[in-house]
Amino acid sequence: MKHTLSVLVENKPGVLTRVAGLFARRGFNIESLAVGQSEDPRLSRITITIDGAERPIDQVMKQLHKLINVVKIRNLQPSGMVAEELMLVKVNAEGEKRAEVLQVAEVFKAKIVDVDRRTVVLRVVGSTQKLEAFLELLKPLGVLEIVRTGIIAIARGKG
């Protein structure tokens, strides 16, 4: 089972270590983690996704709550959230391949952010599934490097 936690923390040194360390200690594997400032400059928001957790997630959420610098935690439900990720992909774009790469980029609304004679760097934003599908199509052309931000997620509506 996959979980997406949105954790509001005080913007203080060492907070990320505390949060990440806690997951490791309690036997959870972090799949992705993204941090950045929130609407309040004193607070940061961490989006953590955990995959294949065998233990109940509420125990680790309770332990997380006990960290003094953690202000709020939400366990976002797939139906009630928007979750997106940004990915940069460097692909082989020599010769005829270039046209093909550009075509795939077009379909996925990926942006070309860098070009040189042999390669193209594409930026694509979207759900994990979209990113995976995009990669599937690019792979035969020769993917050289992938960088992903990790998922960031937000609850829908006012909830």
Partner 1 sequence: MTPQSKMKGSEAIVRALQDEGCDVIFGYPGGVVIPFYDALLDSSLRHILVRHEQGAAHAADGYARATGKVGVCIATSGPGATNLVTGIANAYLDSVPIVALTGQVKSDLIGTDAFQEADTTGITLPIVKHSYLLQDAAELPRVIHEAFHIAGTGRPGPVLIDIPVTTSLAEVSYKRVETLGLPGYRPTTRGHVKQIRAAARAINDAERPVLYVGGGVISAGAAPELLELAELRRIPVTTTLMGLGAFPETHELSLGMLGMHGTVTANYAVHECDLLVAVGARFDDRVTGKLSAFAPKAKVIHIDIDPAEIGKNVPPLIPIVGDAKHVLAALVKELQGLEWTPERTSAWLAKLKGWQDEYPLHYEDPADGTLAPQYVVEEIDRVTRHEAVVVSDVGQHQMWATQYYTFTFPRQWVSSGGLGTMGFGLPASIGAKIGRPDATVVDISGDGGFQMTVQELATAVNYDIPVVVAILDNSYLGMVRQWQDLFWNKRYSQTHFERQPDFKMLAEAYGAVGMRVTEKDEVADALREAIACGRPAVIDFKVAAEENVYPMVPAGTSITEMIGGVAPRRRKKS
Residues at the contact surface with partner 1, assessed by CB under 8 A: 9-10, 13-14, 17-18, 21, 25, 43, 58-59, 62-63, 65-72
Closest CA to 30 of 16, 51, 11, 45: 51
Q: Which is nearer to partner 1, 36 or 78 (CB)?
A: 36
Closest CA to 43 of 12, 77, 22: 12
Q: For 92, phi and psi rounded to 5 degrees?
A: -65, 125
Residue type for 24, please?
A: A
- Minimum distance from residue 37 beta carbon to partner 1 (Å): 15
Q: Which is nearer to partner 1, 17 or 79 (CB)?
A: 17
Q: Which two structure tokens, joined as six digits, stand for 98?
A: 């270039």
Q: Which is nearer to partner 1, 7 or 89 (CB)?
A: 7
Give residue for tokens 């942006």: 111
- Minimum distance from residue 95 beta carbon to partner 1 (Å): 49
- Minimum distance from residue 42 beta carbon to partner 1 (Å): 8
